[in-house]
Amino acid sequence: MKIVIYNEYTKNQLSPIGKRAYKEGLHKEIASVFDGSDVEVAFLSTLPDLLNHTANDITYDKLRDVDVLYWWGHCDHDKVPDEVVDAVVKRVHKGMGIIFLHSAHFSKVIKKLLGTPCSLTWREVGEAERVWTVSPKHPIAQGVEQGFRIPHEEMYGEHFNIPTPDEVVFVGWFQGGEVFRSGVTFTREKGRIFYFQPGHETFPNYKNPNIRIILKNAAYWCARQEDKIAIVNKTYKDAPNVHPCESIPLIHFSGKVKQGKEED
């Protein structure tokens, strides 16, 4: 499998806090998910140091033998030439998988593929997020801890202005109260698409073990090689009584609650 990673190297990634999160850039962290495998990983850039990184060198021919393209963008969506957008979209229609990460929800490429504004609500205060698996049988969800917690992330909230996904795999809950469809899939002609919300450039969340599993599983699924994903998720018990994940006041209007158990 051949993977290519596009990272719009924003000024935030070059700042001290960005370098603290990803010393060599978040594209290198994503690539490290495949260390020790036979997956071929390459980067799309115009300069070796990416300091003046643009998408100008992306062509259909350069993507012809690519199985999956990761796309991370933030501040320079408008600087991606239309001919590059057309080349990527054409390649997806021909069968290349594509994974849009975090603020790539607003890229010209995903907007053209989905045909909607892909707008959302947001807040950047570094609050915690929990990522819940809502499609546990989906290949991308295999091996992912249910409701895993991210200590700090940029909040993305509904309404997420996208078409109805083929499947919602993950839903994010944020400390401020918002929820978000954080992992969704689409198909456009022969190409598979996965959008995944976590990944703000100043938080080292691509080092999170669960997120790394998702990034890897998503590549195999987008490349139609899901047979390489081990099916490990357990079947959930119907209607279990569970303890709260976050601190809540133990108040119940129909009775008392003691350590998570109802009493008459």
pLDDT score of 262 more than 50: no
Q: What average pLDDT does the segment 78-92 reach? A: 92
Number of structural domains in the chain: 1
- pLDDT given for residue 245 in this prediction: 85
- pLDDT given for residue 49 in this prediction: 46
Q: What average pLDDT does the segment 20-42 reach? A: 91
> What is the token pair recorded at 60?
């259909």
Question: pLDDT tens for residues 114-129?
Answer: 999 999 999 999 999 9
pLDDT score of 4 more than 80: yes
Q: Which range, of 23-37, 44-58, 126-140, averages the lowest pLDDT?
A: 44-58
How far is 123 from 121, CA to CA, in rounded Å? 7
In this predicted model, which residue has the larger pLDDT, 68 or 82?
68
pTM, two decimal places: 0.90
The CA-atom distances, in angstroms, between 231 and each of 81, 142, 241, 263 are 40, 6, 26, 39
Q: Which amino acid is at 59?
A: T
- Name the one residue in this structure whose structure tokens are 């959930």: 236
Question: pLDDT tens for residues 225-240?
Answer: 999 998 887 666 677 7
- pLDDT given for residue 91 in this prediction: 98
Domain range for 113:
2-263
Q: What average pLDDT does the segment 34-49 reach? A: 76
- pLDDT given for residue 264 in this prediction: 43
Question: pLDDT tens for residues 201-221?
Answer: 899 999 999 999 999 999 999
Q: Of the ranges 20-34, 92-106, 229-243, which is most confident?
A: 92-106
Mean pLDDT of the chain: 88
Sign of CA dihedral 96, 101, 107, 111: positive
In this predicted model, which residue has the larger pLDDT, 57 or 151?
151
Sign of CA dihedral 204, 210, 211, 212: positive
Percent of the chain whose predicted confidence (pLDDT) is above 90: 66
Percent of the chain whose predicted confidence (pLDDT) is above 70: 86
- pLDDT given for residue 15 in this prediction: 76
CATH code of the domain in which 127 resides? 3.40.50.880
Q: What average pLDDT does the segment 177-200 reach? A: 97
Q: What average pLDDT does the segment 168-197 reach? A: 98
